[in-house]
Structure 1
Amino acid sequence: MNTPRNVIALLTQLRAAAAITFMAVIAGCAQRVATPAAPSDAGTVPVSSVVAAPSMVAERQQADAAVVTAPTPQQATTATPPALRPVPDPQLSFTRTQAAQARGRAWTLANQRPDGSFGTFESPRAREIYLDTQASHRAFHTATTALVCWSLVVPARTDPACNAALLRGLTWLEAQGEVGRASGNTFYSIWAHTYLLELASAILADPARTADHQAWRAILEREVQVARREQSAEGGWAYYDFNHVGQNPSGHESTSFNTGAMIESLLNARAQGADIPAGTIADALTCMERMRIPSGSFAYGTYAELNVAGDYNKVSGASGRLQVCNLALFRSDAKGTDGETLLRGVELLRERHFYIEIARGRVMPHEAFYRNSGYYYFFGHYYCARVLQLAPAGPRRDLLVRWLAEQMAIDQNRDGSWFDYPLYGYGFAYATGFAMRTLEILEPMIAEQVRATGGTGAVPMPPQSSSPNP
């Protein structure tokens, strides 16, 4: 008779204890939320509290960190922000830059596929980035091969092995024809169009490659027309256009970095005599200006331009994107973009580099602080080098040039490659192409510093950030 009552009493006590424990946990969480965050955590937002941009969601939902076996970069991120690392003197910087390039060329030559291309659709993980259709692989493969071939154009002038590899790569690309969309709302082909334009411009600018000029003149003209056709209604470019299927993208998903990179490639094509359709660049600049933020940042895309306070739109989340945006505006003589804008943009990358460096090598897109993603790490550093090429000369630029070269040397893997994101089997190849182009641009600027200083000189410590995070 008493046994059921004892059981009921025991269950009641257990339920009361569980309720007390639950309330204590809630109180503890509330206390932690109410406690002001330390300065080093400023701007850090829990993943669950942020509504991600549509394109970010599409990328994240396809990744599966539990089954990834892709290697991560071999240089671990330290607790000391890279902005505080010493910058080598000119002679040491020049030596390290040349050594990194030599290792990178060796890796490139050893990893060209038998058909002349670079990269592969093979992936070490069961779930990968969103494809829509298998046609996306053709876009990735073509863009990666164009990038690596672009990095071989200059070395091919003096290195027979690089010249042979470049010829095989060009032959493969010439046989591919026009790369189309995967579907009406997914077109990673924009990357192929962008870097085919860059490669074609580099081939046509090289007097040593006159035998290739006719074929690549035709490719240049074709890609210019494709770029105009794929330009969205509001002037930008993107790789998604969800819920909108038309002959031209709607522009709802246009990104600042795709738009900036395409403006840069079209300007280079125009320098080689390409006839850019009227209004193409002007429309793109209008789109770019809409995404400009007074902090020096640029919105991730047109769909996010009104969310200025979004973590991915803050400088700490945009340092890898804002370089190409500043470059495109500066080269187009846009109002409010001058040499100081260029230098300050690079300084922002240097000061906030810790955040984008944390994202390098991570397998989930946009999982890092401020929604940084690894796949635009070397993209951003390449355009940073282009910015420094055009920035006003002086001690300020000299220091930034050596800092960027040193960062590339630090990021290089022991086998000579570079890596920032496990995009199927394309990650090492495209990252190495970007890094090699970056060092190629920086090397002559460092050589000039060596000549001017005799290879030595004081190495000033980087200044503290002049603006609060983000």
Structure 2
Amino acid sequence: MRLALIAVLIMSPLLAQEKPEAEVNPETLAESMRRGVDFLVADQNPNGSWGGPTRTKRLNIYAPIPGAHHAFRAGASGLALAGLIDSGDTRPETIASIEKGAAWMKENLPLLRRADQTTTYNAWGHAYGLRALTRLYKRESDATAKAGWKTLAEQQVELLGRYEDINGGWGYLDVFDGFTSKRPTGITTSFTTATVLLAMAEAREVMGIELSDKTVTSSLASIERQRTPDFSYVYSHDHRMHPRVPINRPAGSLARSQACNAALKSFGEEKVTTEVIETWADRFIEREGFLSIGRKRPVPHETHFQISGYFYYYGIYYFTESVRFLPEARQAVHARKLAEVILFRQEKDGSWWDYPLYDYHQPYGTGYSLMALAWCKPLIANPGEPSDR
């Protein structure tokens, strides 16, 4: 008991340093977003994409070449481009960067497929490609060009249907059952499925994309099967049999619950009440430190509650997707708290990143953060008005 008390006293000052203390107002938000935009503009590849298979380390996640990196680049580029557009930055260099990114999307998204039968990382590329396409469609004034973005989005939705797991929903690995098939039979994960569904829901809302009822129903059912009574969501379909291992407890589910609650709510699930969303929003802010402990660690799932670094900015962004369903006044309260965290975590170079993933981590982390700040900004400036997508 005495040793435990001593440990708490020793650690208290260190934990206090982790508390966000950023000043949040429209000016500091605008400056933070400008720095993030500047990073993405400077970091963009000459061909218009972001990220690449460089900055390797001795420990890298499984990534069959070249297809896995096609997926990683599509996902990181989709997030970076969406973040640039959401920022509302109208400087000439930013517009030029957006146009270069749009051209890359038009040329490369139609080519994206799974690397081989062991991975379906392409689900991330299709989902975040859809996020970018939705924004390109909204900003386009030419009717023919808008139709082109919609057609490309319809193709991405069709490809997602093609790669849906046999158990419903989507995952990213298919290496453990020793079985290969036309449709994946791997690890359906609650959060990958939520990611895809939310991107599809936005595409339907903005572009009028038609979704397959069969695909939507089976993937929603997959998330439901992975939900526990307290609205934690287990990591994957197989984890249903182990709901109380650390990664599946509330602290391990902090980021997943934001996305999964938002996905179910977007498609009309009545069990996800305002109270549920409010509870998990409060819990996310209060326990953000658990996610932060995993930031920048190169080994996935090595820390408390088996958290990985890449949970962090994923959770930051999907917090905004979940809190959208709350009353406007409560959205404003949460927006200020979230903005404090984001501003506090910004790197000196203007980027945000949470996990060293080759050279994709800074583009995707910065894209997530800019989209989240774009949601926060109007709520902080005008607390009575809801934030637009």
The residue number in structure 2 matching 1:258 is 192
Query: Which residue of the other structure, out of 309, 312, 331, is the alignment partner of 1:377?
Result: 312
Select 1:182's aligned residue among 94, 111, 115: 115
Deviation at 1:273, TM superposition (A): 1.4
Question: Which residue is equivalent to 1:275?
Answer: 210
Pick closer, same or farther for the CA change 1:36–1:229 going to 2, 3 Å. Answer: farther
1:162 matched to 2:91? no
**What are the superposed Cα offsets for residues 324-375 of structure 1, whole Å, 9 maximum, x if unpaired?**
0010011111131122221111111112211100001111111110010011
Partner of 1:114: 46
* Shift of residue 280, structure 1, vs aligned partner: 1.3
Deviation at 1:210, TM superposition (A): 4.9
2:367 to 433, 447, 461: 433
Post-superposition Cα deviations, 1:254-284, rounded to whole Å, max 9, x if no partner, equal: 1110011111011112121112123111111
Q: Which amino acid aligns with 1:422?
A: P
Secondary structure at the aligned position of 1:132 is classed as coil
Displacement of 1:80: 2.6
Specify the SS of the correspondent of 1:80. helix
For residue 288 of structure 1, what is the aligned residue in structure 2?
Answer: 223
Displacement of 1:409 in angstroms is 0.3
Please, which of 199, 221, 236 is the counterpart of residue 169 of structure 2?
Answer: 236
Deviation at 1:244, TM superposition (A): 2.9
Q: Is the 8 A contact 1:321 1:380 kept in 2?
A: yes
Per the alignment, in what secondary structure is the counterpart of residue 352 of structure 2? coil
Q: Which residue of 2 aligns with 1:219?
A: 152
How do 1:28-427 and structure 2 match up within 5 A?
78-80=14-16, 92-155=24-87, 158-176=90-108, 177-208=110-141, 210=143, 212-242=145-175, 243-250=178-185, 252-271=186-205, 272-394=207-329, 396-427=330-361
**Unaligned stretches of 5+ in structure 2?**
8-12
What is the one-letter code of the residue matched to 1:433? G
Asked whether the 8 Å contact 2:22–2:341 carries over to 1, the reply is no
Question: Shift of the alpha carbon at 1:198?
Answer: 1.4
The answer to whether the 8 Å contact 1:261/1:324 transfers is yes
Contact map agreement 1:81 1:353 (CA 8 A) in 2:
no
Paired residue type of 2:298: V
Structure 2 counterpart of 1:123, one-letter code:
R
Q: Which string of whole-angstrom CA distances, capped at 9 and with x for unpartnered residues, describes residues 264-308 of structure 1?
A: 011112121112123111111111110111122100010101211
| Higher alpha-carbon Rg | 1
Change (3 A) 1:85 1:156: closer
Segments of structure 1 that go 5 or more residues without pairing to the other structure are: 1-34, 42-76, 452-470
Q: Cα RMSD over matched residues?
A: 2.5
| Shift in alpha-carbon separation, 1:158–1:299, aligned structure 2, 3 A | same
Task: Please state if 1:445 is matched with 2:379.
Answer: yes
CA distance in 2, matches of 1:435, 1:406: 12
Q: How many residues align?
A: 378
- TM normalised by structure 1 equals 0.75
Identity %: 27
Shift of 1:114: 1.2
Distance 1:282 1:87 in 2: 42
Distance 1:407 1:276, change over 3 A: same
C-alpha separation in 2, matches of 1:410 and 1:351: 15
* CA 278–39 in structure 1, closer or farther in 2 if over 3 Å, else same: farther
Query: What is the distance in 1 between the residues matched to 2:90 and 2:64?
Result: 42
Contact 2:309 2:354 in 1 (8 A): yes
Take 1:400 and 1:40, find their aligned partners in 2: how far apart are those partners?
Answer: 34
Structure 2 vs 1, CA of residues 190 and 39 (structure 1 numbering), >3 Å: closer, same or farther?
Answer: farther
User: Residues 153 and 166 of structure 1 are in contact (CA less than 8 Å); yes or no, is this contact kept in structure 2?
Assistant: yes
- The 3 A distance-change label for structure 1 pair 185 and 437 is same
Deviation readout 1:378-431 (Å, 9 max, x if unpaired): 11110101222221223x443321110010001100110111111011111111
Q: Distance in 1 between matches of 2:134 and 2:331?
A: 27
Structure 2: distance between partners of 1:111 and 1:212? 27
SS in 2 for 1:175: helix
Deviation string 1:57-88 (CA, Å, 9 cap, x unpaired) is xxxxxxxxxxxxxxxxxxxx941386x65685
Structure 1 residue 209 displacement after superposition = 6.3
Q: Is the 8 A contact 1:152 1:162 kept in 2?
A: yes
Judge which range, 186-195 or 170-179, deviates more.
170-179
